[in-house]
Structure 1
Amino acid sequence: MKLAPTSHIRREFYKAVGYYLRIVWPILSTMLVVIVTFGLIISYLEGWQPFDGIYFGFVTGLTIGYGELVPKQALSRLLAILLGFNGVLLTAIFAAISVRAIESAVRVTGGDK
């Protein structure tokens, strides 16, 4: 079995990623808006700077959770929980796109012969 050069596979992978991102862009953009909006709401409720709230939203949404910003109010904590679920879904979508793009790249380059 002769495999395609890795640069060709990589190029096909990036093309497939772009294709699938265009398909799910409405979902991804909504999820990103939710992260920013919830972050801003939490920053307002907690008395943080707006950038700190956006930072908290992404750190929580991407399930990193450094812990230097911790919401104290019940509503803020509820929103943080929703951010975590949103982030898990966002991560799952990116993982699914990557797997699908790898499958497409291998299929196009003939790696599954």
Structure 2
Amino acid sequence: MKFTLDFLDAFLTIAWLTLPLLGSFTCVVAGLGLVVGRIENWTPFNALYWSFITASTVGFGDIRPSQKPSKILAVVIAFVGLMFTGIVIAIAVESATYAFDRNVDIHKLTRPVGP
């Protein structure tokens, strides 16, 4: 339980510190999604839905752009989504490493050498 609490503490602390960057990426995805929605004549809801599905690299394919400028912006949205995901993964790895270092004695994990 201590490991989990240390992980969550580290994760939330680092996430809080990177919140301006993550928030900026979220705003870029939403803004570009609304631009694409205007180009493609989508509702704002569909535009935001599409942009976040694209940013998460899920890409269901139920809504897709047909105009060339929209397709270019889709690539930008996907790239921003990859950066967002990479940062969240880096936060999780760093948090797990921190919790591991605080709660696991590495010497107990290694086997003694010899007979």
Does the alignment reach a TM-score above 0.5? yes
CA distance in 1, matches of 2:105, 2:9: 17
Question: How far off its partner does 1:112 sit?
Answer: 3.4
Instruction: Name the structure 2 match of 1:38.
Output: 32
- State percent identity of aligned pairs: 28
User: SS where residue 72 of structure 1 aligns?
Assistant: coil
Gaps of 5+ in 1: 1-6
Q: Which residue identity does 1:73 align to in structure 2?
A: Q
List structure 1 segments (4+ residues) > 6 angstroms apart after TM superposition. Answer: none
User: SS where residue 64 of structure 1 aligns?
Assistant: coil
Question: How far off its partner does 1:111 sit?
Answer: 4.1
Q: Which residue identity does 1:79 align to in structure 2?
A: L
- Kept in 2: contact 1:17–1:101 (CA 8 A): yes
Instruction: Name the structure 1 match of 2:43.
Output: 49
User: SS where residue 106 of structure 2 aligns?
Assistant: coil
Instruction: Name the structure 2 match of 1:106.
Output: 100
Instruction: Name the structure 2 match of 1:59.
Output: 53
CA distance in 2, matches of 1:81, 1:111: 45
Task: Please say if 1:80 is aligned against 2:74.
Answer: yes
Larger Rg: 2
- Kept in 2: contact 1:9–1:106 (CA 8 A): yes
| TM-score calculated relative to the size of structure 2 | 0.89
CA distance in 2, matches of 1:40, 1:111: 51
CA distance in 2, matches of 1:50, 1:84: 19
- Kept in 2: contact 1:106–1:112 (CA 8 A): no
Question: How far off its partner does 1:107 sit?
Answer: 1.5
Q: Which residue identity does 2:88 align to in structure 1?
A: F
Q: Which residue identity does 1:42 align to in structure 2?
A: V
Gaps of 5+ in 2: 108-115
The one of 33, 57, 71 equivalent to 2:65 is 71
